[in-house]
Chain A
Amino acid sequence: MALDVPVGKIYGFLGPNGSGKTTAIRMLCGLLVPTEGTATVLGRRLPGEAEALRHHIGYMTQKFSLYQDLSVIQNLRFIGRIYTIAKPELEIRVDANCARYDLDPLRGQLAGTLSGGQRQRLALAAATLHRPELLLLDEPTSAVDPETRRDFWDSLYELAAEGTTILVSTHFMDEAERCHRLAILDGGRKVADGPPEQLMQDIGYLIIEVETDDPVACRAALAGAEGVFSAAQLGTKIRALVDPTVGRPEDLIVARLKSAGIDGRVQRVDPSLEDVFVAATQ
């Protein structure tokens, strides 16, 4: 897997469960030793120089991994002291991060009693306390609602604007779309990478949407048909990825539906990131 993560950008790992997102991030943190190959992170070779790297990376685990029986402020102070931030500076940074991530009203509250969104803000506040150059986030928003996710991403954009490089894994399309650059992983391999717009442009399939009264039958009729790469149901619509070499794809679909006796309105649409994901991982 060759990755080139640009400084000060948000780089996404998009992949289905078990595609190696967490494993890749753990290797970049030095938590796992690759069976073969090496990585250079911030100019340091892994796995050999993992310890030297620790001061410069921040890691947010998939599962909340701060101390649930410590308060918000105790957790932050603990992490700060582990990173040997001097006391007056530590207090300044803790106050700053509490304000920045809206933790001020929760300072004395035990981390275990926080909501999903609050925990996530605390985890980010802790992971950025030592001002890492590289922030590794493993499915940071898998446990929070869409609004919290949006706020969280605003924070990530701010961090990136300040020069922090961010590597984030996700299986949410909307989240992946927010990354500056994206790698799609499947079965432990990188199957595509580039900016999301670029990936959508270069998808290599034409997207046909069919609106129909019988989407289940429609999907069955299209799936596996000649020239149709995949067909998936989205509510009352069927979205099909069609090989661009077949000429006029709309005609192909219409003909196919007709022979199956299904009525439907056929329309060509722009590819979405989900289409890219399907095209890359199937």
Chain B
Amino acid sequence: MRNFLSRTVAIASKEVVQLRRDRLTFGMIIGIPALQLLLFGYAINTDVRHLSAAVADQAGTRRARELVAAVEASQVADVVARVDTAGQLEDLLRQGRISLGIFIPPDFERRLTIGDRPAAQLLVDGTDPVLLGAAQGLLGLRLADELRQPPKRMEPPTFEIRGFYNPERRSQLQIVPGLIGVILTLTMSLFTAVAIVRERERGTLELLITTPVRRSELMIGKIIPYTIIGIVQVSVILILGVALFQVPIRGSLVDLYGASAIFITATLSLGLLISTAARNQFQAMQMTFFFFLPSILLSGFMFPFEGMPLAAQNVAEVLPLTHFVRMVRGIVLRGATLADVSREIWPLAAFFAVTMAASVLRFRKRLD
């Protein structure tokens, strides 16, 4: 029994000493729970407000304007554009510029008076069911002058909802495209995060850096095979998604693979940057996880982007997954083209350029 204690304590105290040497791991002990708590506590909010909305007001009456004002006053939506036709609203929806379209038909006043059917339409981006839920909160909205009258029986709601792209509100449709990004984020950044650290640990780096190989050649060479692996992963998820969950691919496959390739290289170069900072593979994995956590929580994959406070949204705008989730949902579910979602390409390209340049500059062909 004494021997058992003595040896167990020897192992335990050795672990503590080693742990204290590893500053990063020590930091992660505090950092990971703190990050989790902050993200869940402050950033995650399923009570969405301030959805981007556009209005097509074909009635142009005072009460139509009052209705739009009432929607804005509810804080559920912010009107960011005014267009003429329902078709234009649909274009904006497909491009991902708005989540909500408010269509007020020319016979709005007559419909209000007769009251046999909803007077206006809400066009909702159904790729995120939370948005549909938020739009439903607008159904019961009443105009100020109606409030003074006692409610008529069986009165239809002011709006009727037209959920686009996912009328059956199947959650797989929302999840599968985004899942491509989530899986790629983890596997891709892990692949390259250990890529250079592993050579360092195995001692092969010492030989490699005495050769004429350039830093950029090393970095790009590390990325190429994993880009292909990433494309294979995209295909696997797509094939399963279509075969098992009947996820429709409404956009073009070329666009989808193009968007994926940009995202993959951005994620791989993040991994490389981690690899130049980590001293061993364990540290590299911890750092990858540290990036993965906010990616999955803030990107809009799990929780609606619109529900997050501005600070969290700003962080999310930096993360590659945020932009990829928007692109992939647009292409797969809304039938958008790469040109429609081109706004999301530039942040990814910039992310790739910055992390790649930082990796090359951080990496030294030296041992000191």
> A26 contacts B204, CB within 8 Å?
no
In whole Å, how far is B199's beta carbon from the nearest beta carbon of chain A? 9
Complex: A32 Cα to B209 Cα, angstroms: 11
Which residues of chain A come closer than 8 Å to B213, judged between CB atoms?
82
> B207 contacts A30, CB within 8 Å?
no
State which of A50, A65, A79 has its C-beta within 8 Å of the C-beta of B203: A65
A: contact size bracket: 20 to 34
Which residues of chain B come closer than 8 Å to A26, judged between CB atoms?
367
B149 in the interface (beta carbon within 8 A): no
> A33 contacts B366, CB within 8 Å?
yes
A51 in the interface (beta carbon within 8 A): yes
> B366 contacts A66, CB within 8 Å?
no
B113 in the interface (beta carbon within 8 A): no
A189 in the interface (beta carbon within 8 A): no
In whole Å, how far is A182's beta carbon from the nearest beta carbon of chain B? 24
Q: Please provide the chain B residues from 343 to 368 with a CB less than 8 Å away from any CB of chain A in the complex.
A: 365-368
> B204 contacts A66, CB within 8 Å?
yes
In whole Å, how far is B366's beta carbon from the nearest beta carbon of chain A? 6
State which of B202, B206, B210, B367 has its C-beta within 8 Å of the C-beta of A54: B210
Which residues of chain B come closer than 8 Å to A66, judged between CB atoms?
204, 207
Interchain Cβ contacts within 8 Å, total number: 51
In whole Å, how far is B138's beta carbon from the nearest beta carbon of chain A? 60
Most buried by A among B210, B212, B365: B210
CB within 8 Å for A64 and B203 given contacts A31-B366, A32-B367: yes
B3 in the interface (beta carbon within 8 A): no
B211 in the interface (beta carbon within 8 A): yes
Measured CB to CB, the nearest residue on chain B to A68 is B202
Which residues of chain A come closer than 8 Å to B208, judged between CB atoms?
82
Which residues of chain B come closer than 8 Å to A82, judged between CB atoms?
208, 211-213
Complex: A57 Cα to B210 Cα, angstroms: 8
Measured CB to CB, the nearest residue on chain B to A69 is B202
Which residues of chain B come closer than 8 Å to A30, judged between CB atoms?
210, 365-366
Measured CB to CB, the nearest residue on chain A to B217 is A82
CB within 8 Å for A29 and B210 given contacts A65-B204, A68-B202: yes
Complex: A55 Cα to B212 Cα, angstroms: 6
State which of A59, A63, A64 has its C-beta within 8 Å of the C-beta of B210: A59
A272 in the interface (beta carbon within 8 A): no
Which residues of chain A come closer than 8 Å to B204, judged between CB atoms?
65-67
Complex: A65 Cα to B199 Cα, angstroms: 9
Measured CB to CB, the nearest residue on chain A to B211 is A82
A84 in the interface (beta carbon within 8 A): yes
A142 in the interface (beta carbon within 8 A): no
Complex: A67 Cα to B203 Cα, angstroms: 9
A281 in the interface (beta carbon within 8 A): no
Complex: A50 Cα to B214 Cα, angstroms: 12
Which residues of chain B come closer than 8 Å to A68, judged between CB atoms?
202
Complex: A51 Cα to B210 Cα, angstroms: 9
Q: Please provide the chain B residues from 189 to 225 with a CB less than 8 Å away from any CB of chain A in the complex.
A: 202-213
> A54 contacts B366, CB within 8 Å?
no
Which residues of chain A come closer than 8 Å to B206, judged between CB atoms?
31, 61, 63, 65
Complex: A67 Cα to B204 Cα, angstroms: 7
Chain A contact residues, CB within 8 Å of chain B: 26, 29-33, 50-51, 54-55, 57, 59, 61, 63-68, 79, 82-84
Report 30 cross-chain contacts, Cβ distance below 8 Å, ordered by A residue: A30-B365, A30-B366, A31-B206, A31-B209, A31-B210, A31-B366, A32-B366, A32-B367, A33-B366, A50-B365, A51-B365, A54-B211, A54-B212, A55-B212, A57-B210, A61-B206, A63-B206, A64-B203, A65-B203, A65-B204, A65-B206, A66-B207, A67-B204, A68-B202, A79-B211, A82-B211, A82-B212, A82-B213, A83-B211, A83-B212
Chain B contact residues, CB within 8 Å of chain A: 202-213, 365-368
